[in-house]
Amino acid sequence: MNVVVTGATGFVGQRLVERLQEEGHQVLALVRSPDKAAQLFPAQQFPNVEIQGYEPQVSGDWQKALSGWDGVVNLAGEPLVGDRWTPSRKKEIINSRAVGTQKLVEAIAAVEDKPSVLVNASAIGFYGTSETATFDESSGPGNDFLAEVCQTWEKAAQTASDAGIRLVIFRIGIVLGNGGALAKMLPPFQMFAGGPIGSGKQWFSWVHRDDLVNLILTALTDTHKSGVYNATAPNPVRMAELCESLGKVLNRPSWLPVPDIALELLLGEAAQLVLEGQNVRPEKTQADGFQYKYETIDSALQQILT
């Protein structure tokens, strides 16, 4: 299969490109930094990977390059963490997803030999946050900033259907793997100072990176899959349970909590990413028969950390 991947140098995209290469597929990596991509995907090890620079929010010659490819996986978007959510930063976060997706769909619709499927990322932030509610693919949207981001993102992707393209949207939970969010949580535990973040009662809906990549690969090849799927493990946990499991796997204590105020001072409104959560269930994903390799937080952390 010939697959275009945006966000190829990110935490999920890099692993996806590796898997596509391992399985003998041809890959076009659309990236903002070709030099970084060349370091991650050296030609000797990745002979099936073609790298092309592009500006995601600007129309250009890169759009013509989508002709003749079988599928597109869109993972591009500005990181949510790292900077405070100022009004200008919020605009960057939304535009990187909405406008970037709009330009990608515009390209798919314009080329003569169109890809047959678009697999587009979204996030479980679509549902808003709650300590008591349970959300599945049929649940409505929330009303906070992340819900706005996801609704705008998905709306831009939906126009692919108007061009006759099969569309699969994954609302992705917190992705666990060697790096990413987990890497930011490890140092306190390694220094015997780990513990729950905030109240510890907030839900943590997660997915192992390998399961997410398998979901994406399945969506590319299974022509029966379309619409929205929750890309989360079937067993979400509360933050306190996550930290307890993390301490157990690392053989470290997990009793020292991180107070809300510390994260709020550091991140501002962006602290809601870890201080608030949602209990998300992959009802449609499981109903379609997807088999998870890592269904529990213990099995996921054991594989990643040992």
pLDDT at 186: 76
pLDDT band of residue 259 (cuts 50, 70, 90) is: low
The least confident of 172-176, 194-198, 281-285 is 194-198
pLDDT at 192: 66
- In percent, how much of the chain has pLDDT > 70? 92
Q: Is pLDDT at 265 greater than 60 in this prediction?
A: no
Q: Which domains does the chain have, with CATH numbers?
A: 2-174+208-232 (3.40.50.720)
pLDDT at 115: 96
Please tell me the chain's helix, strand, coil percentages from 3-state DSSP, rounded to the nearest 5: 45, 20, 35
pLDDT at 67: 95
C-alpha torsion angle, residues 35, 36, 38, 40 (rounded to 10): 170
Q: For residue 197, give Cα distances in angstroms to 168, 211, 261, 276, 296.
A: 33, 25, 11, 10, 20
- Adjacency order of strands within the sheet including 2-6: 49-53, 26-31, 2-6, 71-74, 117-123, 166-172, 227-231
pLDDT digits (tens, 9 = 90+) for 133-186: 999 999 999 999 999 999 999 999 999 998 889 999 999 999 999 988 787 777
pLDDT at 163: 82
Q: Is pLDDT at 277 greater than 80 in this prediction?
A: yes
* Contact of 208 with 177, CB cutoff 8 Å: yes
Q: How far is CA 126 from the centre of its chain?
A: 13
Q: Is pLDDT at 262 greater than 60 in this prediction?
A: no
pLDDT at 173: 95
Q: What is the mean pLDDT of the chain?
A: 91
Q: Is pLDDT at 263 greater than 70 in this prediction?
A: no
Q: Is pLDDT at 268 greater than 80 in this prediction?
A: no
Main-chain dihedrals φ then ψ at residue 16, nearest 5 degrees: -60, -45
Strand partners, 52: 30
**261 vs 136: which has the higher pLDDT:** 136
pLDDT at 200: 85
pLDDT band of residue 256 (cuts 50, 70, 90) is: low
Model pTM score: 0.93
pLDDT digits (tens, 9 = 90+) for 85-144: 899 999 999 999 999 999 999 999 999 999 999 999 999 999 999 999 999 999 999 999
Q: Is pLDDT at 287 greater than 80 in this prediction?
A: yes
Q: Is pLDDT at 261 greater than 70 in this prediction?
A: no
Strand partners, 179: 177
pLDDT band of residue 270 (cuts 50, 70, 90) is: low
Q: Is pLDDT at 302 greater than 80 in this prediction?
A: yes
pLDDT at 141: 97
pLDDT at 260: 64
pLDDT at 255: 66
